[in-house]
Every structure is written in structure tokens, then in C-alpha cells.
Amino acid sequence: MTEQVATLLVACPDRKGLVASLAQVLYGHGANILDSDQHSDPIASMFFQRLRFDLSSLTTDRVSLENGIREVGERFAMDWKLSYAERVRKIAVFASKQEHCLYDLLIRHRAGELACEIAMVISNHPDAEPIARHFGVPFHHVPVTAETKASAEAAAHELIAASGVELIVLARYMQILSSAFVAKYPSRIINIHHSFLPAFVGANPYRQAYEKGVKMIGATSHFVTADLDQGPIIEQATVRVSHRDSVDDLVRKGRDLEKRVLAQAVRNHLEDRILVYAGKTVVFD
């Protein structure tokens, strides 16, 4: 559905009159606010807002509206981002041998849950090719070894840049991306980590959880930063486990969490619900 709808995401120092000024500028151009959510962080003295509005009744045009928003934005020193619903975003999914998150994203996309185009699947293994093909998504096999890492990342970057992809989703991609690569996509790479972060950072979190004897396990989706598994957390979920569960059982139970938690993060991104600040996220629901 290509609705005439836009979403405005705003972050700025908290000040009086912010809400009224933004509402006024939208109203002044005939835009009808459909949803509005805001958050003030009293410690950081920051203000965040998400406004979704209907453009079909615009009394001016988009350029005028954008100029109006820009003017308010400058007055209040806002970071702001305006997205039109009819522009279809492109995402790239990076996968390795584990296929459950990849399948999950493709099926949800097909069911209409993810408003985007899945422009490509990139994997360091060839296994996922038939899966991508089944869903009609271009597949690129980009093998990675310690020696070829830089060139592999360059190849991936080229594919992404050429196609206008704006979000990279690591669907249990088992390679650690270089700082240089990560730096190219600030708050634009979403990873799924198979633990309830900050517990069990790094390799084999299910084994770590098993050995610790925890009674719940979790999954965490987060933006990727240069620090491994330390980026801003977007979504988390947990499930009960018991002494009966082997490491394999934790892996199996965890898969269900990983799928939901990754898909929810991607969905939140595509609906412009996420703002990042101070190493954390605001996720408007």
C-alpha cells in the first residue's frame, strides 16, 4: 500500500514550545497527524519525537512542508529525518550457514510484515542460494577468509552501494565485520546476538549459559558498533530453560527468540521507530 503518509523522527535538546512548533508547522501545511509519540530524558535533557502524518490533505506541497520543518529544526537545533511511506527501502541480509533467521525474514517479508525490498542476500557460504531463489531474492556468495576479509568486505560494500541498500541485517552472520566496514554504516547494521546481553558476550553464548546454569536464556538485537556485542540494544526477549535442557535444546529454544527479536528490530527500523543516543535506543512502540 503506497499511502500518502510520512514519518518525522526528531531528536534535540529539550525546550519549551517544541511540541507546539512541530504540530503547528504540520497543521499549517494541512498535514493530519495520525500518530505521535514523544520522550523526554530528564537526565540527558534531551527530547525525542516520532510523528506520523497524512499528506493526502496537504494544502501546500512537500517542498514547502520540508522547508517549514527545516526552519523549526534549525530554531531548536534538531536532528530530524523525514521519510515518505511510498519510498520503498532496500535492505541486505547477510547470512552464513544457520538459515532460521534468513528464512524468517523472507517469510515475514512475503507476508507483508516488513515494508521494504530485500534487495539481496549475501553469504560467505553457498548454502543459502536455493533459499534466496525460492523467494526471488538475488543471492551473492562472498566467501571470507582471514586473508580475504578486506576484499570481501569491499565486494559487499560495492554490492550494497550499487543497489541503494540502506540497512544491513546480520541474520546470524558468523563473521566479525571490521571497524572500517562498520564505520561506513552508523546505526545501519542490525545484528542478532544469541544471548541476553550484556550476559554472555562473544562466542558460544548458549554453551556459556548452559555452564552457568541459568534458568532463562535470551536473545538481543542491536546496532553494530566497533565494540563487539556492545552496540545500542534494540530488542530483547527471554525464555525459560531448565536442567533438562542440553546445549542443543538451548540452541533450539534460542532460535525462536532470535527470529522474533531480529525481525522486530528490523520492523522497528523500517517504521522509523528507533532513535539512538548515549549508546542506547529510544524505540517508539
Cα 139 from chain centre: 21
Instruction: Give all strands (DSSP E) within 62-215, no chain letters.
Output: 79-84, 90-95, 117-123, 139-141, 167-171, 189-193
- How would you classify residue 164: left for phi > 0, otherwise alpha for psi between -120 and 50, otherwise beta? left
Residues 237 and 213: beta-carbon distance below 8 Å:
no
Residue 81: alpha-carbon gap to chain centroid: 15
Q: Which of 66, 113, 129, 271 binds its own copies (CB under 8 A)?
A: 113
37 is catalytic: no
Identify which range of 156-164, 171-179, 183-191, 250-258 contacts its own copies by CB under 8 A: 250-258
- Quote the CA–CA distance of 249 and 170 in Å, as a whole number: 23
Q: Which of 130, 146, 147, 203 binds its own copies (CB under 8 A)?
A: 130
Catalytic residue among 104, 229, 245, 272: 229
Kindly state whether residue 280 participates in binding its own copies, applying the rule CB under 8 A. Answer: yes
Contact between 44 and its own copies per CB under 8 A: no
Q: Which stretch binds its own copies (CB under 8 A): 69-77, 80-88, 120-128, 242-250?
A: 242-250
Minimum distance from CB of 161 to its own copies (Å)? 30
Nearer to its own copies, 40 or 151 (CB): 40
Residue 77 in contact with its own copies, rule: CB under 8 A: no
Rule CB under 8 A: say whether 161 interacts with its own copies.
Answer: no
Taking residue 212's Cβ as centre, other Cβ atoms within 10 Å add up to 9
Q: What is the amino acid identity at position 67?
A: N
- Distance between CA atoms of 20 and 17, rounded to whole angstroms? 5
Residues serving a catalytic function are: 229
List of residues contacting its own copies (CB under 8 A): 16-21, 23-24, 26-28, 30, 32-42, 57, 99-100, 103, 107, 111, 113, 130, 134, 196-200, 212-216, 218, 232-238, 242-244, 246, 252, 255-256, 260, 278-283, 285
